[in-house]
Structure 1
Amino acid sequence: MTAGPQRARPGSAELQALVDELAEKLGRSVAVDDPLVRMVCTSRHFGDEDPVRIGTLLQGRADNAAVRHVLAQGVARWSRPGFIDGRDDLGMLPRYVVPLRERGHLLGLLMVVVPDRTLGEQDTEAIAWAADLMAAQLYLEHLAADTWKTDERTLVLDLVDSHLATRTAARRRALERGLLGEAEHVLVTVVRLSRGTEPVRQSEAALWGALEGFRQTRSAQGITAIDQERAILLQLRDRPPRPTEVAAQSARILEELTTFLDPSTAPVIGVGGRHPGLHDAWTSYEQALVAARAARRLPSLKGVGDWDRLGEFAVLLQLPEHALNDSLVPKPLRTLTDAHGGERLRDTLRSYLEHAGSIPRTADALRLHRTSLYYRLRQIQEITGLDLDDGAHRLTLHLGLRIEELLATGDDAAA
């Protein structure tokens, strides 16, 4: 499965004609990008091309560093034209940027290469006139695209609905319209954003841009449902994906989102279980929600939760948010925490339990002499009043440690 940097959709012939006409009038290179700085259409060169422009022509978008530089200027929030600085280290000349807006929507960015950051009055008037026409054309295309995106979103939500009748009807619609084949395996991935500082439309565009490369790959066919803070990617495959494939896909989605969005949005990904057949998409979806909650609460997951690798967290995270609080921590574990040397003893206990009670492996992991380890374990038993040879007692302590991990990030981690 491969998915590199994604191209924006090609611009219409009408939009291309407007770009070419403006470029000839100015005698400068002109391009229209989408809100994620991915090329929609571009003019011929006028001797002012830079490495970023050339790379964009070859790849369909600038590299991530250049995209981050442009978006960092705040162009997605601009209400009027302005210059963005060049970057010698990126091979990027200054550009005059006009946000193409229609009815409040940012539809694209008109970019004119201006190495000396100087434009005459006639040039700015010509750019403004062309920008109005381009925005109107993009709005027509935007309306058409929104219609099918809305239809697809409804289909995805119905396919993962909790009601059997709704799911059954949705599967029939999907097959009749040829949107999904009869592949044998289904996987649902959920992406969630925090309420950051990005405009709503920019968040939606970023989610779409990060996921669209995985709608059709060599090994998967997918459909998406996207809103301002959440996205669902439903994929059908001929075989279950390998763990490395799932990890690579999730990493790529996160990389794209961190390029397109401000860090305050803090994206996380939840990957559901792998199931046979589209009829189990709803199960994978429910599991993906739990995995996304794990990714939000557990920094060790680095933003990606995978249901198949959550272990006991998969059970604990199905507790309602209000129930996941300090009252769940067993009293013996709280007593150990409050004891003298409690932190050291807790680390010893955690290692002992994670090594299945193996003295040799625990001693090696902690770099302790076995005599010292036995001494610490006796202390733990005396303080907690529990027997570490008793499976139920060990389970109590192990679950308590896991619950504390979930609580460590506090209330802000609720997904």
Structure 2
Amino acid sequence: MSERESLQRLVDTLAEKLGRSVVLDDPELKLIVASRHFGDADDQRVRAVLQRDVGVPAIGYILGHGVARWTSPGVIPANAELGMKSRLCYPVRWQAQLLGFLLVIDDDLSMTAAQKQNVVDAGHEAAVLLLGEQLGQDLLRREVEACVSGLLSAEPMRRDAAVRELDRLGVVRRSTHVSITVVELVPGHEPVESTEAASALRIATSGLARARSGYAAGVALGGRGVLLQTWDTPPGEDRLRDQAADLREAVRRVVGDHGGSVAGVGRLRTGLTAAHRAYDEACVAARAARRVPSLGGVALADELGPLELLLRLPDHELTDALVPEPLIRLRDADSTGRLLTTLRTYLDEGCSAPATAEALHLHRTSLYYRLERIQEHTGIDLNDGRARLLLHLGLYLLDIVG
């Protein structure tokens, strides 16, 4: 009898003894085995059994209760919005290593101490069986992460070897286009442990990867979640942005109040061997999303403009000291922010007075008055092209340094 068959038998025996539905999930809450129904199934159980995936919201809700740190059975409260009844959750461990979760539906919280002990005893048996299976799964995960890491390397030989290995593993199908999205944690008031951070990033990216089976891989690398995707036809920017937002939401549901996240999307590239370029751009975009609040936590490399160049400077350079002094004077004199807004719009509109006046809903006389004030405070002639470039870059720097 295989380990999987033994686990199924174990869960079935426990469910019959309890008269309740039971599932065994892995540490990322992917279904391993499930018992038959006992008339207590809810929407989440039905989805888990039929689709073998409870969905990111439910995963985040469960993990958000800190179950990965539990060492004894505990109750996960019901959640009507998710269509989820309350459950007894027991973390299955081998020594300190988390191997999975036994989840038993307990809608009326009527499980006795003896029944809970039955769950604990079954968990001990499951740990022995899961250990061997977990080692195999960990090996495959490490292989996939090593392949993706090689694919994103700056070394051509490593990239070529990674493409061959991905082909062998059958993880990602080759297609014309490739995209990379990265998601990074932004710590909150309470720190996130490194293992929990990696788990959150892996859950978020692998969850989206499963939705495009064969055309995506989600991994956690170097403190980032990385979503690698191949496409037969190029996706639109809205789709890539929505995916990035979904990644952020998935991470939020897992880490809860411990922090948030930002996401960056690289440019669409041709062929897997160009994925490293998309990754580099995605990392810069994520940095922009972290440093520029107006981006709303998600940035696409294609939309960064000069920000992309400036954000390749090291952090210790990106300070107020880098902002041109004339722009600092203007900022300090501009209590309402109107002059800065006018200058930005004027430069963005190619120094066209009619276009600027229309964009700001200003009469041209008012615009000319503001431009004169800008020149007075900065001491710069706006007819000088190099001076305009200096001010324009300075405005982007102000976005970054605040």
What's the TM-score once normalised by structure 1's chain length? 0.86
Q: Which residue of 1 aligns with 2:45?
A: 53
Specify whether residues 56 and 183 from structure 1 end up closer, same or farther in structure 2 by C-alpha distance, changes over 3 A only: closer
1:30: Cα distance to partner? 1.5
Q: Which residue of 2 aligns with 1:280?
A: 274
Q: 383-392 or 321-330, which moves further after superposition?
A: 383-392
Alignment of 1:374-389 (within 5 A): 374-389=368-383
1:83 aligns with 2:75: yes
1:158: Cα distance to partner? 1.8
1:126 aligns with 2:118: yes
User: Is the CA contact (8 Å cut-off) linking 1:336 and 1:342 kept in structure 2?
Assistant: no
User: Is the CA contact (8 Å cut-off) linking 1:214 and 1:220 kept in structure 2?
Assistant: no
User: Is the CA contact (8 Å cut-off) linking 2:282 and 2:300 kept in structure 1?
Assistant: yes
1:221 aligns with 2:215: yes
1:95 aligns with 2:52: no
User: Is the CA contact (8 Å cut-off) linking 1:190 and 1:232 kept in structure 2?
Assistant: yes
Match for 2:386 among 378, 381, 392?
392
Q: Which residue of 1 aligns with 2:347?
A: 353
1:400: Cα distance to partner? 0.5
Name the amino acid aligned to 2:125.
L
1:224: Cα distance to partner? 4.4
1:292 aligns with 2:290: no
Q: Which residue of 2 aligns with 1:363?
A: 357
What CA distance in whole angstroms lies between the structure 2 residues aligned with 1:283 and 1:379?
Answer: 43
User: Is the CA contact (8 Å cut-off) linking 1:77 and 1:199 kept in structure 2?
Assistant: no
Name the amino acid aligned to 1:53.
R
Alignment of 1:13-162 (within 5 A): 13-62=5-54, 66-87=58-79, 90-162=82-154
User: Is the CA contact (8 Å cut-off) linking 2:251 and 2:260 kept in structure 1?
Assistant: no
User: Is the CA contact (8 Å cut-off) linking 1:219 and 1:238 kept in structure 2?
Assistant: no
Give per-residue Cα distances to partners, 1:1-57, cap 9 Å, x unaligned. xxxxxxxxxx93222211110010111221223344444332222233344434544
Name the amino acid aligned to 1:346.
L
Identity value in percent: 41
Specify whether residues 113 and 223 from structure 1 end up closer, same or farther in structure 2 by C-alpha distance, changes over 3 A only: closer
Specify whether residues 219 and 95 from structure 1 end up closer, same or farther in structure 2 by C-alpha distance, changes over 3 A only: closer
Specify whether residues 302 and 220 from structure 1 end up closer, same or farther in structure 2 by C-alpha distance, changes over 3 A only: farther
Name the amino acid aligned to 1:267.
S
Specify whether residues 240 and 89 from structure 1 end up closer, same or farther in structure 2 by C-alpha distance, changes over 3 A only: closer
User: Is the CA contact (8 Å cut-off) linking 2:75 and 2:87 kept in structure 1?
Assistant: yes
What CA distance in whole angstroms lies between the structure 2 residues aligned with 1:42 and 1:294?
Answer: 44
User: Is the CA contact (8 Å cut-off) linking 1:35 and 1:106 kept in structure 2?
Assistant: yes
Name the amino acid aligned to 1:114.
D
Q: Which residue of 2 aligns with 1:202?
A: 196
1:189: Cα distance to partner? 2.3
Q: 310-319 or 99-108, which moves further after superposition?
A: 99-108
What CA distance in whole angstroms lies between the structure 2 residues aligned with 1:90 and 1:283?
Answer: 39
User: Is the CA contact (8 Å cut-off) linking 2:205 and 2:219 kept in structure 1?
Assistant: no
Specify whether residues 220 and 98 from structure 1 end up closer, same or farther in structure 2 by C-alpha distance, changes over 3 A only: closer
Q: Which residue of 2 aligns with 1:411?
A: none
What CA distance in whole angstroms lies between the structure 2 residues aligned with 1:67 and 1:181?
Answer: 27
SS of match in other structure, 2:215: strand
Would you say how many aligned residue pairs link Structure 1 and Structure 2? 398
Specify whether residues 127 and 377 from structure 1 end up closer, same or farther in structure 2 by C-alpha distance, changes over 3 A only: same
1:64: Cα distance to partner? 5.5
Match for 1:183 among 172, 175, 179?
175
Specify whether residues 275 and 48 from structure 1 end up closer, same or farther in structure 2 by C-alpha distance, changes over 3 A only: closer
User: Is the CA contact (8 Å cut-off) linking 2:263 and 2:299 kept in structure 1?
Assistant: yes
Give per-residue Cα distances to partners, 1:152-184, cap 9 Å, x unaligned. 222222222222333334344445655555533
User: Is the CA contact (8 Å cut-off) linking 1:198 and 1:262 kept in structure 2?
Assistant: no
What CA distance in whole angstroms lies between the structure 2 residues aligned with 1:320 and 1:331?
Answer: 20
What CA distance in whole angstroms lies between the structure 2 residues aligned with 1:83 and 1:186?
Answer: 43
SS of match in other structure, 2:373: helix
What CA distance in whole angstroms lies between the structure 1 residues aligned with 2:212 and 2:118?
Answer: 45
Q: 18-27 or 206-215, which moves further after superposition?
A: 206-215
What CA distance in whole angstroms lies between the structure 2 residues aligned with 1:87 and 1:342?
Answer: 46
What CA distance in whole angstroms lies between the structure 2 residues aligned with 1:97 and 1:174?
Answer: 36
1:192 aligns with 2:211: no
What's the TM-score once normalised by structure 2's chain length? 0.88
User: Is the CA contact (8 Å cut-off) linking 2:73 and 2:116 kept in structure 1?
Assistant: no
SS of match in other structure, 2:337: helix
Specify whether residues 200 and 41 from structure 1 end up closer, same or farther in structure 2 by C-alpha distance, changes over 3 A only: farther
Q: Which residue of 2 aligns with 1:6?
A: none
Give per-residue Cα distances to partners, 1:249-293, cap 9 Å, x unaligned. 222322322222224342222222222223322222221211111
1:322 aligns with 2:290: no
Name stretches of at least 5 consecutive residues in structure 1 with no aligned partner. Answer: 1-10, 409-415
1:65: Cα distance to partner? 5.3
Specify whether residues 171 and 42 from structure 1 end up closer, same or farther in structure 2 by C-alpha distance, changes over 3 A only: closer
Name the amino acid aligned to 1:70.
I
1:340: Cα distance to partner? 5.7
What is the Cα-based RMSD across aligned positions, in Å? 2.8
